[in-house]
Amino acid sequence: MASEKKEIVVLGAGVIGLTTALKIQETGRYKVSILAEVLPTDPKTIKYASQWAGAHHVSFAKVDDPRHALDKETFAEMWELSKSEAEGCFMQLEQAEYFTNQRESPSPLEHMPEFRSLSPNEIPVEAVSGEAFNTITIDVPSYLNYLLARFLSKGGRVLRGSVQHIAQIAESGVHAFLPASERQSDFTKVGFVRPAPPAAIVVCVGLGARYLGGVEDADVYPIRGQTVLVQAPWIKHGKTLSDLDAMMWTYMIPRRTGLVILGGTLEPDDWNATPRAETTRSILERALKLSPELVPPHLRSAGADAAPTVEDILPFVVEEGCGFRPGRKGGLRLEAGNVKVPLTDKRIPVVYNYGHAGSGYIASFGSARVALELLETALGSKH
Ligand SMILES: Cc1cc2nc3c(=O)[nH]c(=O)nc-3n(C[C@H](O)[C@H](O)[C@H](O)COP(=O)(O)OP(=O)(O)OC[C@H]3O[C@@H](n4cnc5c(N)ncnc54)[C@H](O)[C@@H]3O)c2cc1C
């Protein structure tokens, strides 16, 4: 008889929870459940960063930062997906990155396809240096649902629930979150068996790590990002102007659907969950200065030779957005620990994978692979 698969509970269904659950499931050695308050099929909410992301794969990690390897590994996996089964979630395109300072050499992005440094006549006046290469943008609503469908199609279980404390899961797994028809009715049943603890818990709750009992990580904080979504299917290339001294980014990220995300802002510890009107206007002004092609010449009110104005682009605005990147002082938490199983002397492993700030998509597959390794080492089940 085949041995029973070990039960693993993944908390969180953002890009990190979904990717981590998939990596664990695809070993074939575990029965994996995802338990989360917000799921990819829900309307957008401030409690779920993954729905608000641009998103593109442009790593910020320097070559000597351990995250660089995670980002590179993730890019390789996403690039393959963008050519095969998940093609519809991605757009391959040429990306230009402009910097208001001199870019370090060698560039951390030299591994990207078709990488080249830009000459002075190819960069905007505000910039000092620039690079171009090929990358992907991600249509995040489709991609999150693709990950969810891939997990479900391989027998994964997804449950909705708000977890108060990880001890709750350590004691009886996802039992309390099952539909009523599947729950045991305790003492009224002869031969009642207490719900078993899972073999391990994997914590991928993003900003929720600040509040989740048993984790309560005070280093976790929001980095607010405001965006504007416009309809501009003629845009087939991406651009970013980074002014890191001023913590100011201006970017244009087209998606395969014809929608283009314009941004952005980087506002640490700013808890305002609704878009600010003056910021929306500033994003549109900056984006039009960087990318006048957002409004084709024949649609410019002051004439084809004039620069486009904010009023010219307003008819194409679909949505103002605002999300909280899950920041963490000291960076990403990717490590193993354990938690006591209540009413017993046992402890079970807990793997933490959260705090990805503005790089959750960029590092997703790499950090999920490390989380899997930590899990298997903690369980002593590495093959
Ligand atoms: C404007 C903007 C642009 C961005 N652009 C990019 C980009 O271009 N590239 C990139 O890589 N990243 C980008 N990001 C960052 C990216 O969105 C995040 O790094 C990523 O979404 C984090 O994913 P996560 O799964 O850790 O968290 P989330 O997506 O927030 O998911 C957290 C999950 O945990 C669940 N949860 C939390 N607490 C509990 C609890 N107590 N009980 C049960 N469930 C719980 C939630 O319900 C949810 O399912 C951007 C972010 C913003 C805001």
Residues contacting residue 199 through CB under 8 Å, at least 6 positions apart: 6, 7, 8, 30, 348, 349, 379
What pLDDT was estimated at residue 1? 43
How far away, in angstroms, is 21 Cα from ligand 1 center?
A: 15
How far away, in angstroms, is 331 Cα from ligand 1 center?
A: 15
What pLDDT was estimated at residue 310? 97
Mean of pLDDT values over 264-292: 97
- The Cα 137–Cα 325 span in angstroms is 18
Residue 87 has pLDDT above 90, yes or no: yes
How far away, in angstroms, is 379 Cα from ligand 1 center?
A: 27
Ligand 1 atom showing the smallest separation from residue 207 Cα: 30
202 CB under 6 A from ligand 1?
A: no
- The Cα 254–Cα 233 span in angstroms is 8
Mean of pLDDT values over 25-44: 97
Domain hosting residue 100, numbered range? 6-379
What is the residue with the minimal CA distance to atom 1 of ligand 1? Answer: 225
162 CB under 6 A from ligand 1?
A: yes
Is the pLDDT higher at 187 or at 29? 29
Within a domain: 42: yes
26 CB under 6 A from ligand 1?
A: no
227 CB under 6 A from ligand 1?
A: yes
What pLDDT was estimated at residue 190? 59
Within a domain: 223: yes
Mean of pLDDT values over 304-327: 97
366 CB under 6 A from ligand 1?
A: no
Mean of pLDDT values over 364-382: 94
Tokens linked to 30:
């575990």
Is the pLDDT higher at 191 or at 67? 67
Residues contacting residue 96 through CB under 8 Å, at least 6 positions apart: 118, 122, 130, 131, 132, 237, 238, 239, 240
191: confidence class by pLDDT, cuts 50, 70, 90: low
Instruction: Report the percent of the chain where pLDDT is more than 70.
Output: 96
Within a domain: 1: no
pLDDT tens digits for range 94-131: 999 999 999 988 999 999 999 999 999 999 999 999 99
Ligand 1 atom showing the smallest separation from residue 265 Cα: 1
Q: What is the CATH number of the domain that holds 128?
A: 3.30.9.10
- Report H helices in the chain: 15-25, 66-81, 140-153, 166-172, 277-290, 310-313, 364-379
| Domain count within the chain | 1
194: confidence class by pLDDT, cuts 50, 70, 90: confident
Summary mean pLDDT of the chain: 95
